Amino acid sequence: MVQKIAVIGAGTMGNGIAHVFAQNGFTVNLIDVNAEQLEKAIATISKNFDRQVAKGSVTEEKKQQALANITTITDIAEGVKHAELVVEAATENIELKLQIFKQIDEFAPAGCILASNTSSISITKIAAVTKRPELVIGMHFMNPVPVMKLVEIINGYATNKQVTDAIVDLSKRLGKVPCVVNDYPGFIANKILMPMINEAIYSLYEGIAGVEEIDTIMKLGMAHPMGPLQLADFIGLDVCLSILNVLYNGFGNTKYAPCPLLVNMVTAGKLGVKTGEGFYIYSAGSKELVVSDRFKK
């Protein structure tokens, strides 16, 4: 049974993935070329465990055990050499991912499953740069990983059935609910989510309603935890734009064409929570939602 995990990339998704594996008794090598990023990731994981300790879902002892299950490493070859599963959660950049998969294919043991947390890049394409395409699969976690129950599992064209079954079982061992889908642009999660977000941005761009109205309608009318514009800020407007482009190019259908307002905001560097401004303005420590001056009436 798979027990030794390597997670590549110590950003938001990578640290969340390391968190849930470590919490569930797996040993995790958390790998990032940037040592400072690794330090930050451990601090974030510890802080997120504190939330769970505070509400009583995890004991302090369990937190310490989980943290002890994580080793940080800057060298990919060293980090994956004993892994039974590698989960890649690097930046959503196709060239970077292909480069990483070539490397992990070279250094991970034969039989090790290689998973990507990509939100939209073709698993089949990633698998094609390795010598083990049948062992390559998509394991798409949702942000915040410790909270969100879903793992969208994506079968590449060559993914072996035993590999899919193993990843389904593993996701259940993490307390998650796996859903298996096929490898087409955006898979299912983003093929449905991104057109909704794009439509919300179009509605703002066309002046049909303001930021607060759009988000309130979807929150209170459809029981979404966040409105689509707030969710876009949370995901990152650059990520939303890049996924929409994958859908647009992949299906060749203008219904996925990104709204010009989204394109402008990304060009202007207003990427949402991570840059402090998107549809809303974010100041450290504040939970209050403040609409950006740009969209104030």
Residues that bind ligand CAA (CB under 6 A): 48, 51-52, 55, 119, 142-144, 146-148, 189-190, 225-226, 231, 235
Within 10 angstroms of residue 165's Cβ, the number of other Cβ atoms is: 11
Whether 29 is a known active-site residue: answer no
- Continuous H helices in the chain: 12-23, 35-54, 60-68, 76-80, 94-107, 123-128, 161-173, 189-205, 211-222, 228-235, 237-251, 260-267
Least CB distance to ligand CAA at residue 293 (A)? 24
Is residue 137 within 8 Å of 156, Cβ to Cβ?
A: yes
- In the set 116, 155, 190, 203, the catalytic residue is 190
Q: Which residues 6+ apart lie within 8 Å of 139 measured at CB?
A: 87, 115, 116, 117, 151, 153, 154, 167, 171
Residue 185: asked if its preceding bond is cis (omega within 30°), the reply is: no
Nearest residue to ligand CAA by CB is 119
Whether 78 is a known active-site residue: answer no
Least CB distance to ligand CAA at residue 111 (A)? 28
Q: What is the DSSP letter of 265?
A: H
Nearest-5° Cα angle at 134, 128 to 139: 85
Nearer Cβ to ligand CAA, position 19 or 132?
A: 19
Least CB distance to ligand CAA at residue 175 (A)? 13
Nearer Cβ to ligand CAA, position 83 or 247?
A: 247
Nearer Cβ to ligand CAA, position 3 or 93?
A: 93
Nearer Cβ to ligand CAA, position 147 or 208?
A: 147
- In the set 117, 120, 140, 171, the catalytic residue is 140
Is residue 60 within 8 Å of 46, Cβ to Cβ?
A: no
Least CB distance to ligand CAA at residue 189 (A)? 6
Least CB distance to ligand CAA at residue 57 (A)? 7
Is residue 43 within 8 Å of 18, Cβ to Cβ?
A: no
> What is the C-alpha separation between 198 and 251, in angstroms, rounded?
16
- In the set 152, 212, 242, 277, the catalytic residue is 152
Whether 152 is a known active-site residue: answer yes
Nearer Cβ to ligand CAA, position 148 or 217?
A: 148
Nearest-5° Cα angle at 93, 231 to 39: 75
Least CB distance to ligand CAA at residue 216 (A)? 14
Whether 19 is a known active-site residue: answer no
Is residue 80 within 8 Å of 112, Cβ to Cβ?
A: yes
Nearer Cβ to ligand CAA, position 2 or 188?
A: 188
Instruction: List residues with catalytic annotation.
Output: 119, 140, 152, 190
